[in-house]
Structure 1
Amino acid sequence: MTSANPPSDPGIDPERRGIQPGEEHSTKRARPKDTRKDRHRWELARGPITAFGETKVVSAWAKDARCTVNLQALRTRLALGWNPETAISRPRHERGVLEYTHAGRTMTLRGWADQSGIKYHTLWSRIKDSGMSFEAALDKGAEGAHFTQLVSAFGETKPVSHWAVDARANCAATTLLRRLAEGWEPERAIIEEPLSRSNLGSGLPYHAFGHSMGIEDWGRHTQIPAGMLVHRMERHQVTLEAALRSFGWAPSNAVDSADAELTEVTSAHLHPRDHIPAVSSDADPIFTVRRPAAPPAETQRRSPAAPLPSTRAPAAPAPSSPPPVRRR
């Protein structure tokens, strides 16, 4: 039995199907109107923009040394109504960082998770969901029998996860476990600095010249990119201190210490070469800047060299040609 309304064939002419011209699309559902509102006011990102006592167009501000984002991001911030100085100077992805201090060492929560062997989400849940203090969350230790293995060193006995967060520990819990499995002496396994680390930016401390800080902090302190430091350490199997010396850096020839390089200024006192690691959220923002030292001015200019006396003998005069003979 055939259906009274057989399905239409798109290849058949509409007039042969009994449909009048112009009615073949009448049965389709109309597309709903877009009712979304654009939050951007792009006119705010056009024309001259005034900030830090100067007036430039957006493309010129994007090339300014004080600008921390690219041109598109700067336009978007201005179109969203950001204050021009904040839109220019605030670093991208700026957000609160979970940092905790324990045993005289400050690291991010991710760094402490890598250091202690405790899973990041486990550590987060203990602090945020269970309401435990950071010390209590660390003291509970990592899960797994290998991390609860007791180790005796320096006259004390405690689990591997506790030794990893001890002030004397210079390696992570996983490195400590591997060293103990290889037969290292416990004291040496705890205090010896690894030759290289593969977790750039995790917050694990690197030790050099009597100081301990993360690799990103070492990069900011020495003005040597952190990636170059890690590459040098891994490729040549050297410590951080040796890598820094290979780049020609040491505390004795550093221009200033990290504390001396950081200063707080208002927007009116920013310099084009200032690096801005932080900005306060006040109505009148205060900028924490790292200001590189100005290159030393030349004390004296070299005078143009006097021409050297010639050692060549003077050229002999050209022989005079005889007077022409007139013919009669």
Structure 2
Amino acid sequence: MDKIEAFGECKGVNSWFLDPRCNVSLAVLKRRLSDKKKWTAEDAIRIPSRATLREAFGESKTIAEWLKDPRCTQSAGTVYTRLKKGDSLEDALTQERRPAGPPAGPLLRAFGEEKTLKAWSRDPRFGLNEHTLRSRLDVQVLPLEDALTRPLRAKLALPKAEQRRIAGIA
């Protein structure tokens, strides 16, 4: 192939392949450049393989390119999640975090703080899971501060013979 003009520069195919703007293998680049009806030189070089161009703000780019765009104010994970939920690309790229809804469940007060049951169960000071905390409050009817601070009991392992006797497998 002759010299290829792109981005205001003129280079050979191998030089374009080594260019940092090139996002495809040499074989893909050669194939794309040979199909001038389908690919402009710039697109053949910059668009990664299997990438789909998405339109926003009147421009077409790949998602990877949109994530680098200065108008994108969101993380890649947020953008992909929003797109899966059906948001427009412009909204996925730019909308600030949506305000959180009301807390799930009532607020419970202990140690001068108010949190939901789930939030208390995630507090690293206490090391309890939500099921254990709920059981202590609902079944054992403990006050919240006691439920949070009561030590976890280690389960005592019974000897195998005792386990069989209890289970009726003598």
Bigger helix share: 2
Larger CA Rg, structure 1 vs 2: 1
TM-score bin, normalised by smaller chain? 0.3 to 0.5
Normalised TM-score (structure 2):
0.35
Normalised TM-score (structure 1):
0.22
